[in-house]
Amino acid sequence: MRPLALTMGEPAGIGAEIAAGAWSALRATGPLFFLIDDATRPFAVPVRAIAAPEEAAAVFPDALPVLHRPLPRASVAGKPDTANAPAVIAAISGAVDLCKAGRAAGVVTNPIQKATLTAAGFRHPGHTEYLGEIAGTGVPPIMMLASADLRVVPVTVHEALAKAIARLTPELIAETARITARALREEFGIARPRLAVAGLNPHAGEAGTMGREDIDIVAPAVAMLRAEGIDARGPLPPDTMFTALARPTYDAAICLYHDQALIPIKTLDMAGGVNVTLGLSIVRTSPDHGTALDIAGTGRADPSSLIAAIRLAAELARARGTA
- pLDDT tens per residue across span 52-104: 999 999 999 999 999 999 999 999 999 999 999 999 999 999 999 999 999 99
DSSP code per residue over 301-313: ---HHHHHHHHHH
Bridging pattern class, strands 107-108 and 252-255: unpaired
Q: 275 a known binding residue?
A: yes
Where residue 115 falls among pLDDT bands split at 50, 70, 90? Answer: very high
Q: 194 a known binding residue?
A: no
Find the largest Cα–Cα distance for the chain: 64
Where residue 109 falls among pLDDT bands split at 50, 70, 90? Answer: very high
Q: 127 a known binding residue?
A: yes
Q: 124 a known binding residue?
A: no
pLDDT in tens, 23-42: 999 999 999 999 999 999 99
Residues 6+ apart with CB under 8 A from 286: 108, 109, 110, 111, 127, 274, 275, 309
- Residue 278 has a pLDDT of 95
Q: 266 a known binding residue?
A: yes
Q: 289 a known binding residue?
A: no
Q: 68 a known binding residue?
A: no
- Residue 220 has a pLDDT of 98
Please give the backbone phi and psi of residue 179, each rounded to the nearest 5 degrees, phi first: -65, -40
pTM, to two decimals: 0.92
pLDDT in tens, 223-257: 999 999 999 999 999 999 999 999 999 999 999 99
Residue 270 has pLDDT above 90, yes or no: no
Angle between helices 219-227 and 170-186 (to 10 degrees): 40
Cα-based distances in Å from 314 to 106, 111, 141, 227: 7, 19, 20, 34
Residue 274 has pLDDT above 90, yes or no: yes
Q: What percent of the chain has pLDDT over 90?
A: 93
- Residue 247 has a pLDDT of 98
Where residue 126 falls among pLDDT bands split at 50, 70, 90? Answer: confident
- Residue 118 has a pLDDT of 94
97-135 burial, b at 16+ Cβ within 10 Å, e below that, comes to: bbbeeeebbbbbbbbbbbebbeebebebebbbbbbbeeb
pLDDT in tens, 158-175: 889 999 999 999 999 999
Residue 125 has pLDDT above 90, yes or no: no
Say how far apart CA 246 and CA 196 lie, in whole Å: 10
Say how far apart CA 85 and CA 12 lie, in whole Å: 11
Enumerate domains of the chain plus CATH numbers. Answer: 1-141+272-323 (3.40.718.10), 148-270 (3.40.718.10)
pLDDT in tens, 175-219: 999 999 999 999 999 999 999 999 999 999 999 999 999 999 999
From 240, 6, 5, select the one nearest 101 (Cα to Cα).
5
DSSP 2: P
From 70, 48, 75, 68, select the one nearest 59 (Cα to Cα).
48
